[in-house]
Amino acid sequence: NSSNFVTDNSGYSTPLNYPGYTLVWSDEFTGNTLNTNDWNYEIGNGSAGWGNNELEYYTNNTKNVFVSNGNLIIEARKESISGFNFTSARLTTQNKKQFQYGRIDIRAKLPKGKGVWPALWMLGSNINSVPWPGCGEMDIMELLGHEPNKVYSTMHYGIAAHGSKGNSFSLSSGSFYDQFHVFSMIWEADKIQVF
């Protein structure tokens, strides 16, 4: 039952505030549905799988994305729709939330398995006038499902050519599937740190 999906909430957490910072937005997913005043559903597969040759069709179906017990659940499913053999969900805050500088904390438990590629990332709000990668992309966390103990963070940029700078982090034991972790980014005018 998607309205009462029980998940193990063990793992890491984050405080609601930090010294020197003012909270400007949070979503603790306390309701029964996704707040569409803050979130957009991206529907379909985009051009060439949004540039990643993705094999799934993104939906707003409550089988793929729902809120339950204080968690946002995004579920990939093996089912056919519009010529694709898998469904999932892709959510954005485009034109609803926009930030420059500060700290972002995202508490998440990640999937594992070959073919899944969860990501928590930010894209320049000027993407409609400055094409990628010139608009900038900050990948706070990306995980390749066949390496469930390793996450990547990458900054993408460049007008004439695609530039990127990033790193990875591997757990000494276990995987990011086992419990919740907090993925954080501190963005200052001259420095970006990812934790």
Active-site residue set: 137, 142
- How far is Cα 164 from Cα 55, in angstroms, rounded to an integer? 25
Residue 19 CA neighbour count, 13 Å, CB half? 0
Please name which of 44, 26, 13 lies closest in space to residue 107, comparing C-alpha atoms: 13
Name the CA radius of gyration of the chain, rounded.
Answer: 17
CB 134 within 8 A of CB 159: yes
- How far is Cα 164 from Cα 133, in angstroms, rounded to an integer? 9
